[in-house]
Structure 1
Amino acid sequence: MEVRRTPNNNRNRHNRRGVVGIESAIVLIAFVIVAAALSFVVLNMGFSTTQKAKSTITSGLGEASSAIEIAGQVTGKGNTTASKVDAYTIPIKLASGGSSVDITASKTAVKYFSKSVTYDNIFKGTLTSGTYTDINSALTAAKTAGYINEIPGVGAGSNSTAAFIYFTANVNNNSIVDAGEQAVLAIAYKNGDRPAALDTVNTEIIVSAGAPLTVVRSVPTITDAVLNLG
């Protein structure tokens, strides 16, 4: 007996194919959505990791470089009678591209050593008001401020070796070195600590951010009141 397929059988087959096609499309769309979500998570984690790495590198570079730099000639106040250096000055400014630096006594230290003496911290403070054109006027102001008890080389001299900072270009009259300002680190020696010709003086200026600024100079023959130490 011959069995003939009816049109209903063909219609059911087409319906089943249509259902299977829709289910496949739904599954495919679900896979695409999940893949997109996972890709977003992975990319977001990658961007976050990259940003953290960039911040770490930037911070590391900042700590490895000094926030301040030498801004001119290092000089000494020569005492030709005693053949000694009464005071020593290092001009400083912000390093190129650097941020403002706080130079208050609580956030700054100055290490010093020579052939005969070593000090862990001789920094006393900053003359915040106005500017000074020479070391002599700055020493007088430092004595008034109590950073030193006597002008080096005068009488018995100061009772201790001390460092202080004064400004030669002062914008804000505070204890922060800002862009456009220039300061000078001055070291006033007590008589027994004064370096002589051929001595080597080592100074390390430590501020709140960045690496310390180290300055090493050799003392020339003391024949003038102003000595150029380079």
Structure 2
Amino acid sequence: MEVRKTPDNRHRRTRRGVVGIESAIVLIAFVIVAAALSFVVLNMGFSTTQKAKSTITSGLGEASSAVEIAGQVTAKGNTTASKIDAYTIPIKLASGGSSIDITSSKTAVKYFSKSVTYDNIFKGVLASSTYTDMDSAMTAAVTASYISAKPGVGSGPSATGAFIYFTTNVNNNSIIDAGEQAVLAVAYKNADRPAALDQVTAELILSSGAPLTVIRNVPTITDTVLNLG
């Protein structure tokens, strides 16, 4: 009679246990590697998103002007000559914008009409005082040698020029801060004065942001003070 040997069940269970532990170790290793790769991918994603945000913010800042018009554009009319002697554009810091330096080395004013074109007529800033009207600011500009004479008086200035004066200046410097208001003034020499139906364009170019372009049509000269809108 043949005697069959019974398999050793304890040995079989031991081998199955070792295989299970090895599988668990491999699975844990895969999980750790996957977690590490996920962290790297997420970190790269966050970094890319931050760079994209910075680029977009910078682009928006350059696409928008640092300053904006803060009221009505007003002109000084010469009813005798039927022309404009000078005009002013009130400006202030754009909403949410940072302070901007408007010194002559960092600012330019391009001007053109139907008859003349100038690449830069900006002369400087009257920052030591504030002014309540165009006439007193023109007098100060003559003293500062920004223009040679007051526009509309005698032969007027020898050259068309632009300057900035403040109506509100907290720090008495050449930087427009939040809450301050300045005025861009253009004074014409007699030969450059625009007449009725002419179109005048002033482009204020600053060290940052897009230029502020102001286009106005000259109405019929019927008064010494004209609202250009």
- Common fold by TM > 0.5: yes
DSSP-derived class of the 1:24 partner: helix
Q: Which residue identity is paired with 2:4? A: V
DSSP-derived class of the 2:22 partner: helix
Normalised by the length of structure 2, the TM-score is 0.95
Q: What displacement does 1:150 show?
A: 1.1
Normalised by the length of structure 1, the TM-score is 0.95
Q: What stretches of structure 1 of length at least 5 have no aligned partner?
A: none
Name the CA distance, whole Å, in 2 between partners of 1:104 and 1:33: 59
DSSP-derived class of the 1:128 partner: strand
Q: What displacement does 1:130 show?
A: 2.1
Q: How high is the sequence identity, in percent, across the aligned residues?
A: 81
Equivalent position of 1:227 in the other structure: 226
Name the CA distance, whole Å, in 2 between partners of 1:101 and 1:224: 35
Q: What displacement does 1:155 show?
A: 2.0
Equivalent position of 1:138 in the other structure: 137
Q: What displacement does 1:124 show?
A: 0.9
Name the CA distance, whole Å, in 2 between partners of 1:222 and 1:211: 32
Equivalent position of 1:162 in the other structure: 161
Q: What displacement does 1:207 show?
A: 1.0
* Equivalent runs, 1:44-63 vs 2, <5 Å: 44-63=43-62
Q: Which residue identity is paired with 2:215? A: V
Q: Map Cα deviations across residues 35-94 of structure 1 (whole Å, 9 max, x no partner).
A: 000001111111111122222222222222212111101011112222221111000111
Equivalent position of 1:77 in the other structure: 76
DSSP-derived class of the 2:183 partner: strand
DSSP-derived class of the 1:5 partner: coil
Equivalent position of 1:188 in the other structure: 187
Equivalent position of 1:117 in the other structure: 116
Runs of 4+ in 1 over 3 A off after TM superposition: none
Equivalent position of 2:6 in the other structure: 5
Q: Which residue identity is paired with 2:42? A: L
Q: CA RMSD in A?
A: 1.3
Deviates more, 1:56-65 or 1:134-143: 56-65
Q: Which residue identity is paired with 2:3? A: E
Name the CA distance, whole Å, in 2 between partners of 1:147 and 1:13: 103
Equivalent position of 1:207 in the other structure: 206
DSSP-derived class of the 1:127 partner: strand
Name the CA distance, whole Å, in 1 between partners of 2:143 and 2:31: 78
